[in-house]
Every structure is written in structure tokens, then in C-alpha cells.
Amino acid sequence: MSEREEPRAAGDVVKVQVLVAPMCTEWQQWRAGKASNELGHEAVGVVVDAAHSSRLKVGDRVVVMPHAGCGTCPACAAGEHIHCTEQRDLLAETGSTSGIGCYADTLLKPDYLLHKVPDDIETDYAAMAICALGPSFTAMERMQVSADDTVLISGCGAVGLGAIINARTIGARVIALELNPFRAELARALGAEQVLDPRAADLVDQVRALTGGYGVDAALETSNNEAAPPVVLELVRARGRLAFVTWSGDLPVKRITGKGVDIFGSWHWNHERHGDKMMQRVRDARPLLDKLTTHRFAMADVSEAFALQETGRCGKVLLYPGGVPANPEVAS
């Protein structure tokens, strides 16, 4: 933890007081010994300085979306800010020396990258709309997953576990792949019908036996294992659908063509187009989100939280700048 100069709002860049910051992949930097004063890309907070924003006012509770897309390119115009290639320099624009990371008391964000939280959704549940549910929400929207589908989730880290929640809330049947015993058990608790060992020599046969001999209708790779993509491809039926929220591994083109599989890359969710639907997903998934959120830490104890994440014995982990509240779901 370190003390930094207070960020300054300016123009459409507003200042947000962080209420809760979900943890994602930052623990990998901690493990590698890489120090940073701007960690974290997920938060729910309250606007404390709206500057010249025409969208928000002081007191608005908001979901903080990642990055700082330009707001004007074709990707941003379509609400796909995460794919913007011209990120804004918020520190230069505001004259601030801090405010980019979410592991902080306050942060800076363009107003169009803040989504208002409906009054009936508690703060901690709203925080699940970011990386816990967001990437797999988009993947399932693009794959048009329905209650008629059997969906395979490869990897049961926080994103994969969130994918199980998305699929089960839709009503789809879920088969998962996971090695870590804690996460395998959590996957079952969230509604995975079967959790299989991805290293099993007969994995393809196991999945086909569970799906009438054909393979799953749709699959989502979240493990980020270099060897996973071609394996997961083999578990999808002919003319099935396959999505990735990861950055590792390669696919054999001849198998994609031969099976006629639709492939999707899904990094995050479009809050401008799907904000209402995501908020409804959060409402519907509350009981499962309670199970997904396994640990809460004060921001001052972030090193302890990193050490926990390294073990894999956790679901989604939440940080609180002001200390863990007595009733965290409704923290405000």
C-alpha cells in the first residue's frame, strides 16, 4: 500500500470513490514480483466529482468498466470500448499523477465507461457484472446459448465459474473441465453436472458419452492453458460453437473447417447495448453469486489476498478500501 496524490476530475473524466474492487489476474504480477501503483481493472463505486459530465452526477453508484477507450472510433461507437486501439491518457488529460487502478480509494474514468447500478441491486452483486460474468456473458450471447444446449466450460477460475453461472441461469446444461479440487467442487455447487479431468486420455470419449455421442453444443475456453484450444475443439459437436476469453494456444484450421465450428473471441461485455440484460442476469443469479464470492479482504490486506489466489482455493475475491463492511452486499 502507498499514499498517492488525490486524482483530479476534468472534462468528461469523473472521479469515483471505490466501494469494492474485485480481484482478477493481478496476483500474477504479485507472484512475478512486479510492483505497481495502478493495479486493478474492476470496481463499483460512487461518483464524488462529476466534473463536466452530462451523463452522471455526484452520488451515482456505478460499475467501472475496464480501460479508457477513446469513445469515438468504430469499436467505441458500437459500445465495444474494450477493443479500442486508441486508449486515452487520463493522467495527462486531468493533470493527475494517479487514478488509473481500481485497487485504490478513488479512481478516474470517462463517464461513458461507467454504468449506473439500479437501486435494487446491491453493491457486491453489481461488482460481479464485470469480469466474473462479463466475458462469458458476451461469449454466450454471441454463441446464442439457450436452455436447450449442453455447454462445456474449460477452466474453473473466477471467469470459468462465472461462465457456469451464466449458463445455468440461462438454463443450459453444463460440463466443466478443472484440475483444482477446490474449484472443481465449487463448479459442482454452482450447477456443473460433471467436472472432468482435462488431462484424461479418454476425455473425448467421456464428453461424447455425456452428449449422445456427438459432443457439446457450445464450449468456452477460460483456462488460458496453451494446450487447451485444440482439445476443447474436439469436444464440440459438428456445427457447434466455440468461444475464447483467453490469450494462449493455437487452433488447427483444418479441424475448424472440417467440423464447421463457429469461433468467437470474447474479451468483455458491451454495457451500452446489454446493460439492462446484464443487470437482470445479476438479479437472477444472486444465489449463485453468493457461492462464487468466497473471500473478502480489506485493501490493506491485499498481499494476503494475492497469496490466497495463488493457491487456487477461492472463487471471486473482493477488496474493500475502507475495510470489509459488516453487511458487504449493500455497502454504500
Q: Are 174 and 191 in contact (CB under 8 A)?
A: yes
* pLDDT confidence of residue 326: 83
Q: Distance between CA atoms of 264 and 261, rounded to whole angstroms?
A: 10
Q: Are 101 and 36 in contact (CB under 8 A)?
A: yes
Residue type for position 292:
L
CA distances from 163 to 71, 197, 214, 254 (A): 28, 18, 22, 28
Give the residue carrying C-alpha cell 504479485. Answer: 30
121 backbone dihedrals φ, ψ, rounded to 5°: -110, 120
Fold classification of 134-265 is Rossmann fold (3.40.50)
Q: E-assigned strands of the chain?
A: 13-22, 43-49, 61-64, 106-110, 114-116, 150-154, 173-177, 194-196, 216-221, 236-244, 262-265, 293-298, 316-320
Q: Name the pairing type of β-strands 262-265 and 236-244.
A: parallel
* pLDDT confidence of residue 331: 47
Give the residue carrying C-alpha cell 475456453. Answer: 221
Q: pTM here? A: 0.95
Q: What is the DSSP secondary structure assignment for residue 59, as one 8-state letter?
A: T
315 backbone dihedrals φ, ψ, rounded to 5°: -100, -120
Q: Distance between CA atoms of 25 and 273, rounded to whole angstroms?
A: 26
Grid cell of 316 as nine digits: 471471486
CATH code for the structural domain at 13-131+269-330:
3.90.180.10
* pLDDT confidence of residue 29: 76
Grid cell of 159 as nine digits: 471467469
Per-residue pLDDT of the chain (332 residues; tens, 9 = 90+): 567 789 999 999 999 999 999 999 887 777 777 767 788 999 999 999 999 999 999 999 999 999 999 999 999 999 999 999 999 999 999 999 999 999 999 999 999 999 999 999 999 999 999 999 999 999 999 999 999 999 999 999 999 999 999 999 999 999 999 999 999 999 999 999 999 999 999 999 999 999 999 999 999 999 999 999 999 999 999 999 999 999 999 999 999 999 999 999 999 999 999 999 999 999 999 999 999 999 999 999 999 999 999 999 999 999 999 999 887 765 44
Q: What is the DSSP secondary structure assignment for residue 14, as one 8-state letter?
A: E
* pLDDT confidence of residue 332: 40
Grid cell of 297 as nine digits: 479482504
- Picking from 153, 183, 186, 188, the residue whose alpha carbon sits closest to that of residue 167 is 153
Query: 51: burial class by Cβ within 10 Å (0-12, 13-18, 19+)?
Result: middle
If DSSP codes are grouped into helix, strand and coil, which group holds residue 171? coil
Q: Name the pairing type of β-strands 236-244 and 216-221.
A: parallel
Query: Domain residue spans in the chain?
Result: 13-131+269-330, 134-265
* pLDDT confidence of residue 34: 74
